Amino acid sequence: MSEPESLRCSSVRNRGGVQRVEGKLRASVEKGDYYEAHQMYRTLFFRYMSQGKHAEARELMYNGALLFFSYNQQNSAADLSMLVLEVLEKSEAKVEDEILECLAKMFSLMDQNSPERVAFVSRALKWSTGGSGKLGHPKLHQLLAVTLWKEQNYSESRYHFLHSSDGEGCAQMLVEYSASRGFRSEVDMFVAQAVLQFLCLKNKTSASVVFTTYTEKHPSIEKGPPFMQPLLNFIWFLLLAVDGGKLTVFTVLCEQYQPSLKRDPMYNEYLDRIGQVFFGVPPKQSPSYGGLLGNLLNSLMGSGEEDDGAEEAQEDSSPIELD
């Protein structure tokens, strides 16, 4: 672990005392005394916290986590990573890019299949929005999405891209996802789902960017518009209709492209929500879906959220707040 990397999360100018302590702890880890070093880190954490030395505690736990990760001591590293979050929560630290990058760094080093990783990311996202129950800071979602993309965990990466503002990155990931895991006949469905979900989340800007970037960069899509695939033409017209805001155009468009929209039963559900958000269509009686389908609809369509109105939604290019 290089010195510049160890300083990334530090907001403390005078590190003399912390450096001396870290030197002793590093020596213990290098000798293989992992348990003793871990316990000493925890002892120092509670001591610093009781003294109100939040910056020192956060720095020490972060550097300790990186040290344990470098020796493949996953459990100890994950525990110190959680203590970093505890400092952030208790000190009511402001959300800054530097801190979000540190959290994403620890996430990237955790065992991909560990339950600690799931707990860490859930808690980190909650902290990043002030514990308000929102789904997390867009920047943190973007950093997580990139990490998961590198791990070829495309479905989880797509989820986090949807809650970021990085339409271009999402499109590039989807091109790779489609090329490596999808059928050639499904090339249009990968981007259609993403565009519809971005629109459900009121993120019109990212919806447009992901469509343009995907269709330009995908090797199996001929230059358009118009496109060879009817579904891509529908999405293109839909984005134009959203900009125009005319309900009649939206209605005719959905009717004309029903054969393409029947390829995925979720498309019309997404379009119902898009009609409400951008065209002022009154919500239908809420269907009582259960299981996976119900969870997907609730998460994407803002279960329990009040409608902001079509006009306001068109101006809002950020993800909506979801439970």
Asked whether the beta carbons of 286 and 168 are under 8 A apart, the reply is: no
Per-residue confidence (pLDDT) for residue 323, from 0 to 100:
30
The pLDDT value given to residue 21? 83
* Residue 14 in this model has a pLDDT that exceeds 50: no
Residue 10 scores a pLDDT above 80:
no
Lookup result for tokens 């119900």: 294
- Residues 6 or more apart whose CB falls under 8 angstroms from that of 291 comprise none
Does residue 221 sit within a domain?
Answer: yes
- Distance CA(254)–CA(248), nearest Å, equals 10
Region 79-106 average pLDDT: 96
* 76 occurs within a structural domain: no
Cα first-last separation, the chain: 38
Write down the pTM of the prediction. 0.84
User: Residue 3: pLDDT above 70?
Assistant: no
Q: How confident is the model at residue 50 (pLDDT cuts 50, 70, 90)?
A: very high
Instruction: Give 14's DSSP letter.
Output: -
Confidence grade of residue 16 (pLDDT, cut at 50, 70, 90): low
pLDDT over 80 at 309, yes or no: no
Establish if 246 belongs to a structural domain: yes
Please say if the pLDDT value at position 186 is more than 80: yes
User: Model confidence at 18, in pLDDT bands (50, 70, 90)?
Assistant: confident
69 inside domain: no
Mean pLDDT score of the chain: 87
Per-residue pLDDT, averaged over 187-216, amounts to 97
Chain-centre distance for alpha carbon 23: 36
Look at residue 214 and tell me if it is in a domain: yes
DSSP H or E stretch at residue 104: helix 97-109
pLDDT for 255 beyond 80: yes
Cβ distance 253 to 284 under 8 Å?
no
Strand stretches in 261-302, DSSP E: none
- Cis omega (within 30 of 0) on the bond before 226? yes
Q: Per the domain annotation, does 296 fall within a domain?
A: no
Cα 278 to chain centroid distance, Å, stands at: 24
Spatial CB neighbours of 17, under 8 Å, sequence gap ≥ 6: 56
Q: How many separate helices (H) and strands (E) can be counted in the chain? A: 18, 0
If one compares 317 and 277, the residue with the highest pLDDT of the two is 277
Checking if the pLDDT of 312 tops 50, the result is: no
Which is more confidently placed, 304 or 83?
83
Residue 237 in any domain: the answer is: yes
279 lies in which domain range?
189-285
Residue 275 clears pLDDT 70, i.e. is over it:
yes
**162, part of any domain:** no
Q: How many CB atoms lie within 10 A of CB 301?
A: 22
Which of 95, 178, 93, 192 lies closest to 136, judged by CA? Answer: 95
Residue type at 232 in one-letter notation: L
pLDDT band at 20; cut points 50, 70, 90: confident
What is the separation of C-alpha 210 from the centre of its chain, rounded to a whole number of angstroms?
15
Place of tokens 């269709």: 215
What tokens does 206 get? 């990212």
Confidence check: pLDDT of 299 > 70: no
Q: Are 319 and 138 in contact (CB under 8 A)?
A: yes
The number of distinct structural domains making up the chain is: 1
The yes-or-no verdict on residue 13 having pLDDT over 50 is no
The rounded radius of gyration (Å) of the Cα atoms in the chain is 23
Over the stretch 109-160, which tens digit does the pLDDT of each residue have? 999 999 999 999 999 999 999 765 578 999 999 999 999 999 999 999 999 9
Examine the pLDDT at 256 and tell me if it is beyond 50: yes
The reported pLDDT for the residue numbered 320 is: 32
